[in-house]
Amino acid sequence: MSEGKLRQDPYNILVTGVGGQGNLLLSRLIGLMFMKKHYNVVTAESFGATQRGGSVNSQVRISAKESCSPGIPANSAHLIIGLEPLETLRQLAAYGNPEVKIVCNSRPIPPSSVMTGEREYPDHEDIKQWLGALSAKAWLFDATTEAMKLGRAVYANIVMIGAMVGAGDLPIGRDDFEAAIEGVLPAGEIENNFKAFDFGMSICLSDDATCRYFGD
Amino acid sequence: MSNIIDGKAGDRLLITGNAAIARGAIEAGISVAAGYPGTPATEIIENLGKAADAHNMYVEWSANEQVAMEVAAAGSLSGLRSFTSMKNVGMNVAADALLHFAVAGTRGGMVIVPCDDPGCSSSSTEMETRVFARLFELPLIEPSDGQEAKDMVKYAAELSEELHVPVILRGVTHLSHVSSIVELGEPLHLNRNADFKCDGPMFDAESGVATPQPMLVKHEQLQKKLHNAVSHFEASPFNVYTGPEHPELMMITSSICTSFCKEAVRSLGVEDRVGILKLGTTWPLPPKLIERHLSMASKIFVVEEVLPIMENDIKSFAMDLAEKIGIKKFHGKADGSLPTVNELNADLVVTALAKILGISHEKSVPASYTQLAKQIAAENVPLRGMSYCPGCPHRATFWLVNHALKMDNKQGFVCNDVGCYAIDLLPGGFQTSKTGLHMGSGMGLATGFAKLDKFGMDRTVFAASGDSTFFHAVMPALVNAVHNKANVTLLVLDNSGTAMTGFQAHPGVTYGASSQKLPSVDIASVCEGIGATVKVVDPFEPEDALQRLLESVEAEDGVNVLIFKQACTLSPEKKHKQMFDMRVDESRCLGENCGCDRLCTRVFRCPGLAWDKDKGKAKIEDAMCIGCGFCTFICPQHAISKTRKEIA
């Protein structure tokens, strides 16, 4: 769906993950995709005290009308791109709502308390159930393994962009991705980026989602 | 792809507020720019450093904000346009210099950009810099978005040049670190020759010597300049009213709060009831403009971050005008409509606006949803607290310091400072540090504590400093400690760069803001020259480092400096390089039966070490471990071994 209107205006996308995963690049690429289609884009980043390994999030707001205020209002995310399951769950109380859609990389990055054996990392099936219970639709899938097949874990971020497009709320498509990455991602990696994008898109288009409606 | 350095007029870029401000400096014809790194301002000077060659600028990372202000002022006094930028508290360091340049007067346009941090997302305090404009009688402007952030730099430079006074352009975190679409203008290359004219009469702004003397004459001149700023501000395109002719409520706002006000009005659908006066020029406030807008409504709602500064100014106007325009009802900080700590957001302004207008405003999300989301997070999602990175030399240093002070057994403590090493104060560190305040505070405080022996204080005191902090503010305190014979040890945690903000240059490194090669100043030689006893140790050679620490503790008098030299794990020189291959010998690790209380994972807590639950033993987490080798030292069973890696 590379033409048409935003399902909601402004449309709010929350990108959440762990410092060093690539939040900044991801929100920038999303912003560029929409800027090239003449939308107003505002992205707010958490940086500063957020060091490597800390919780980070980027907030992208898109509008066909006027420029929005930076920062997504409480419980008003329309789409959450989760680069890590715990970070996705962490943000739902603040930004989630029964209508939100979630695309989430299932690859865990354990917090230090899990590494030291003080806490447990939640079970995959529980995560799936919680994400389902707190969204209109959630896709939980291993983007990192797919990225590693292409040679580098960072392609997982591009898988997530493909998933975002595949989730179907947004008037953008593969051609917009192509336009946005030109001059931003290394030319030698374009092919792999397309493969990563296509994989992500196919996941969400296949509708093989952990799909549950809140309140069921 | 276009960027802020070589982008053409008309190009539209998705850039941060900081990048927009840097581009603004390029379009304002700035020739000299200097600063000291600090979040959220860092990327402004960083970007200008990269642009220096293309736009014939001189850009430097200065030793501290005061020096940066002086370097910029020299440019201005010589007729060039100049620029300095700092984080909120950096303005305190630069303040004395700024006051004197304000009174003495400037020549080429001089723009001061402090970036405040409402909400303290990366600052020690929430201090805001708007008060300096009032205190020093300087014009203040505040951009409301990325586009204005860029455009206002030029406006500020021109205004400064016309009035012969520095102009302050205040940023905030939500301007600096927010990306929006900005349309570029034309870069300006003024090609001026630098010439400092100083043979005219003392009070002449163009040709006198640079001094606030004669003081009262210059003070009066400054006030005239400020008065002239008012006439510019009355007509400024950055002050904009949107709304009905006679709104029920007039919102008055500035900076990024403008976007929160617009969003609040839009989301409540009260465009026909509420007007928004967005002010770009906030000191001195233009009286006619204020009067005109106060006259339009009987209720006023002032929206600003953080303190009610503009609110109080506008109230004083309203009081003077009461006879003419009637009594106004004010909402804002004083009546509790908005909080006086933390940054604002659209939600806070929507809620306050709804209450003032008497509109019911309920959350659209069912309480059962948020309850469930909160419960799931609270029960299952562990925090990712602030801690040292894997293989951080500061963790090693503080482990050793902690040990040395325990062995000394005199309730010893560390006066910490500002940098990544302040993590020692937090649960992620070992909490050997008991003070952590402003830049340079560690050494001054430690000296003070050490001098209290005659009043019964008998505790060992260490001061901590980073390499950048050492040059910034520790040197005078070190001189003071030597001269006053304080029995104190300064630990300089030298990780070869201003690591916390992203490896900006400081006087101890061999490169500058534009990546040019520069001579480095050797910290050890400086300390020796001052008269301290200096030892350089490597925190990854723990036996030697601990020995030196114990010697310092035992030393009877005088100032010892121990330089813990080891580059930051994330530094460009070290990134992705592994010194050792680390292994845990499972036959030696006794797990929970050891009696060490799992020292390596529970206490030392390097992310490179993990607990293997199935085996009940420690293990190396290969994905995280950077192979520094330090943990071989901490295991009482010597179960961790290191093998030097062949580096190709």
Q: How far apart are CA A100 and CA A76, in angstroms?
A: 8
DSSP states of B500-558: GGT-B--TTSSB-TTS-B-PPPPHHHHHHHHT-EEEEE-TTSHHHHHHHHHHHHH--SS
Tell me what ipTM this predicted complex has.
0.93
Q: Is residue A215 over pLDDT 70?
A: no
**B82-99 mean pLDDT:** 98
Do B69 and B36 touch, CB atoms closer than 8 A?
no
In the numeric block, the tokens 């054996």 are attached to A117
Q: Using alpha carbons, select from B327, B324, B305, B307 the residue that is nearest to residue B315.
A: B327
**Strand residues in B360-436 grouped as ranges (E):** 413-415, 433-435
Beta-sheet pairing, B178-183 with B81-87: unpaired
Tokens of A159: 């898988």
Q: What is residue A210's predicted lDDT score, i.e. its pLDDT?
A: 54
Contacts of residue B121 in chain A, CB cutoff 8 Å?
46, 48-49
Q: Do B122 and A111 touch (CB under 8 A)?
A: no
| CA closest to B373 among chain A residues | A93
Comparing A92-101, B325-334, B523-532, B622-631, the range with the smallest average pLDDT is B622-631
Distance from CA of B67 to the nearest CA of A (A): 24
**A12-16 mean pLDDT:** 97
Q: What is residue A52's predicted lDDT score, i.e. its pLDDT?
A: 64
The helix or strand, by DSSP H or E, that contains position B146, with its residue range, turns out to be: helix B146-163
Q: How far apart are CA B197 and CA B199, in angstroms?
A: 6
B581 SS3 class: strand
Mutate to test the interface with A, among B369, B498, B603, B613 (most CBs of A within 10 A): B369
| CA closest to B350 among chain A residues | A73
Q: Which of B121, B373, B382 sits opposite A111 (nearest CB)?
A: B382
Q: Do B178 and A45 touch (CB under 8 A)?
A: yes
Q: What is residue A216's predicted lDDT score, i.e. its pLDDT?
A: 32
Question: pLDDT digits over A55-74, tens only?
Answer: 889 999 999 988 899 999 99
A-B CB pairs within 8 A amount to 164
| Neighbour count for residue A91 (Cβ, 10 Å) | 23
Contacts of residue B366 in chain A, CB cutoff 8 Å?
98
A22 SS3 class: coil
Mutate to test the interface with B, among A23, A36, A58, A69 (most CBs of B within 10 A): A69
Contacts of residue B178 in chain A, CB cutoff 8 Å?
42-45, 70
Distance from CA of B450 to the nearest CA of A (A): 32
Tokens of A31: 């912003």
| Neighbour count for residue B118 (Cβ, 10 Å) | 23
Do B461 and B532 touch, CB atoms closer than 8 A?
no
Tokens of A58: 């980027």
Q: Do B122 and A89 touch (CB under 8 A)?
A: no
Q: Do B347 and A182 touch (CB under 8 A)?
A: no
Helix axes A155-166, A190-205, angle to 10 degrees: 40
Q: Do A70 and B607 touch (CB under 8 A)?
A: no
Q: Do A115 and B609 touch (CB under 8 A)?
A: yes
Question: pLDDT digits over B459-491, tens only?
Answer: 999 999 999 999 999 999 999 999 999 999 999
Distance from CA of B38 to the nearest CA of A (A): 9
Q: How far apart are CA B467 and CA B561, in angstroms?
A: 13
Q: Do A32 and B14 touch (CB under 8 A)?
A: yes
Q: Is residue B500 over pLDDT 90?
A: no
Mutate to test the interface with A, among B121, B380, B501 (most CBs of A within 10 A): B380
Higher pLDDT, B575 or B157: B157
Do B504 and B530 touch, CB atoms closer than 8 A?
no
In chain B, pLDDT over 90 holds for what percent of residues? 89
Q: Is residue B647 over pLDDT 70?
A: no
How would you class B246 by CB atoms within 10 Å of its CB: exposed for 0-12, middle for 13-18, buried for 19 or more?
A: exposed
Q: Do B256 and A51 touch (CB under 8 A)?
A: no
**A20-44 mean pLDDT:** 92
3-class SS string, B306-357: CCCHHHHHHHHHHHHHHHHHCCCEEECCCCCCCCCCCCCCHHHHHHHHHHHH
Question: pLDDT digits over A97-110, tens only?
Answer: 999 999 999 999 98
Distance from CA of A106 to the nearest CA of B (A): 15
Q: Is residue A53 over pLDDT 80?
A: no
Comparing B291-295, B513-517, B575-579, B636-640, the range with the smallest average pLDDT is B575-579
Residue type, B55: H
In chain B, pLDDT over 70 holds for what percent of residues? 99
Q: Which of A92, A113, A115 sits opposite B373 (nearest CB)?
A: A92
Q: Is residue B560 over pLDDT 80?
A: yes
Contacts of residue A73 in chain B, CB cutoff 8 Å?
263, 267, 345-347, 350
Q: Is residue B420 over pLDDT 70?
A: yes
**B447-460 mean pLDDT:** 94
Contacts of residue B381 in chain A, CB cutoff 8 Å?
86, 89-90, 122
Q: Which of B263, B373, B380 sits opposite A93 (nearest CB)?
A: B373
In chain B, the N- to C-terminal Cα span, in Å, equals: 36
Read off the DSSP letter of residue B170: -
Comparing A3-7, A106-110, B600-604, the range with the smallest average pLDDT is A3-7
Residue A188's pLDDT band (boundaries 50, 70, 90)? confident
Q: Is residue A152 over pLDDT 80?
A: yes
Would you put residue B156 in left (φ > 0), alpha (ψ -120 to 50) or beta? alpha
Q: Do B380 and A32 touch (CB under 8 A)?
A: no
Residue B410's pLDDT band (boundaries 50, 70, 90)? very high
Distance from CA of A1 to the nearest CA of B (A): 24
Q: Is residue A212 over pLDDT 60?
A: no
Mutate to test the interface with B, among A116, A126, A148 (most CBs of B within 10 A): A116
Residue A204's pLDDT band (boundaries 50, 70, 90)? confident
Round the average pLDDT of chain A to a whole number and report it: 88
Q: Is residue B328 over pLDDT 60?
A: yes
Q: Is residue B49 over pLDDT 60?
A: yes
Mutate to test the interface with B, among A23, A35, A47 (most CBs of B within 10 A): A47
Distance from CA of A208 to the nearest CA of B (A): 24
Q: Is residue B136 over pLDDT 90?
A: yes
Contacts of residue A74 in chain B, CB cutoff 8 Å?
347, 363
Higher pLDDT, B136 or A183: B136
Distance from CA of A116 to the nearest CA of B (A): 5
Q: Do A89 and B380 touch (CB under 8 A)?
A: yes
Distance from CA of A190 to the nearest CA of B (A): 16
**B610-618 mean pLDDT:** 92
Helix axes B215-234, B146-163, angle to 10 degrees: 140
Helix axes A174-181, A190-205, angle to 10 degrees: 150
**B533-551 mean pLDDT:** 96
Round the average pLDDT of chain B to a whole number and report it: 95
Read off the DSSP letter of residue B461: E
Distance from CA of A46 to the nearest CA of B (A): 8
Q: Which of A27, A74, A113 sits opposite B347 (nearest CB)?
A: A74
Q: Is residue A113 over pLDDT 90?
A: no
Q: What is residue B456's predicted lDDT score, i.e. its pLDDT?
A: 95
Q: Do A75 and B621 touch (CB under 8 A)?
A: no
Question: pLDDT digits over B240-267, tens only?
Answer: 999 999 999 999 999 999 999 999 999 9
